[in-house]
Structure 1
Amino acid sequence: MIVWLNGTHGAGKTATSIHVQRLLPDARIFDAEKVGEALMDITPGLPELGNFQHWPPWRPLVVETARHVLAYTGGTLVMPMTVLVEAYWNEISTGLADHGIGVRHVVLHADEATLRRRIDGDTTLGPSPFRHAHVEAYAEASRTWLHAAAEVVDTTDLTPAQAAGQVVDRLRL
């Protein structure tokens, strides 16, 4: 099974995934961003599209990597990864389903002011225009498809450990 933690920058995906992993037996974290980073290392580079998710190879490579890791390790993959384009989510989720892999899609949500405050206060990555731009894209995706396609956990007033507890509770339902 895969527990896909979606949401935009500042929602708490990375921190929450660590706690979800601790709460689920045989869970491993797989950050699909690493697939994008591998594609970014191709020289000469792939076309500049502003986001590695726009490169057509990224989505099937995420599916295949997750499939092979699960076949090798079993258990659960916890995947903290923002996907705000519905067609991309459909491609990934359909690809996983075609391999018989169950996906629990959970969106970690926080209000805009909280997201922006968290992005600005991030001592590891620091504030960035790229991360701030995704707040608006997230709001649009939330209104049009994302919240309807997932279980939503509001992290506005939660610690990552509390958010993880809510995620795991929903998995048991």
Structure 2
Amino acid sequence: MIIWLNGPFGAGKTTTVRELLKASPGLVELDTELLGYALRPALASRHPVGDFQEWPAWRRLVVTALTELARADVGDVVVPQTVVVEEYWDEITGTLVDRGIQVAAVTLHVDLAEHLRRIETDMLSRPEDDAGRVPAARWRRERRRDYDSALPWLRAKTYVLDTTAISPEDVAEAVLAAVPRGLQHQPQV
């Protein structure tokens, strides 16, 4: 099964994965952003985009990687990746389901004020210089509008968990409890 953690950039998906891996050591993480970074040198100059998710190659590579992990029988895989374009979401999850892979989707929601606080706290805790922090913080703040616009379809297609006032450990526990409710797509038997 794929446990997909969605939510706004900077909401705590990576932190939640760390807690999930502690609570459930059998889980395996696939950070699909790394696949986007791997594609960037080959595609960015010929097919410039604002977000690597716009590349069909990224979406296909995500599906292929998750399919291969399922074939390798590594167990349940947790994916911390914001996807706010419904068409991309449907393409990825629909193809996984067509391949017989269950997808449990949990959106980690956080209210705006707390989200902005987490972005600033995270940026301050990173060792990069100010030049590295400012663009990442700006990117996360600017993308909040995309998340807010996507929230209606995310509520329909994922289990939305409000993480505004709970600790990372409690978020992980709530995700594990929510996984059965987050099952939006199951393969047809």
Tell me what 2:105 maps to.
105
Alignment pair present for 1:148 and 2:164:
no
AA partner of residue 131 (structure 1): R
Shift in Å, 1:41: 2.2
> Please, which runs of 5 or more residues in structure 2 have no aligned partner?
127-131, 182-189
Aligned to 2:133: 126
SS at match of 2:161: strand
Task: Give the gaps of 5 or more residues in structure 1.
Answer: none
- Pair 1:37–1:134, CA change in 2 (3 A): same
Q: What is the deviation of 1:137?
A: 0.8
Quote the RMSD (CA, aligned, Å): 1.7
Question: Which one has the bigger helix percentage?
Answer: 2
Structure 1 length normalisation: TM-score?
Answer: 0.92
Number of residue pairs matched?
172
Q: Matched residues in 1 for 2:43 and 2:33: separation? A: 18
Residue-by-residue CA offset, 1:25-84 (whole Å, 9 max, x unaligned):
521010110110111122773422110001111111100011102211431000000000
| 1:87-139 deviation line (CA, Å, top 9, x unaligned) | 00000001110110000000000001111111122122735221111111111
Whole-angstrom distance in 1 between the partners of 2:18 and 2:180: 18
1:126–1:160: structure 2 CA closer, same or farther, 3 Å change rule?
A: farther
Would you say the 8 A contact 1:2–1:78 is kept in 2?
yes
Q: Contact between 1:21 and 1:28, CA under 8 Å: does it hold in 2?
A: yes
**How high is the sequence identity, in percent, across the aligned residues?**
38
Verify the 8 A CA contact 2:106 2:178 in the aligned structure 1: no
CA contact (8 A) 1:16 1:161 kept: yes
Matches within 5 A, 1:1-173: 1-24=1-24, 26-42=26-42, 45-122=45-122, 123-124=125-126, 126-127=133-134, 128-142=137-151, 144-171=152-179
Letter in 1 for 2:163: T
Structure 1 stretches of at least 4 aligned residues deviating more than 6 Å after TM superposition: none
Alignment check: 8 A CA contact 2:29 2:79 kept:
yes
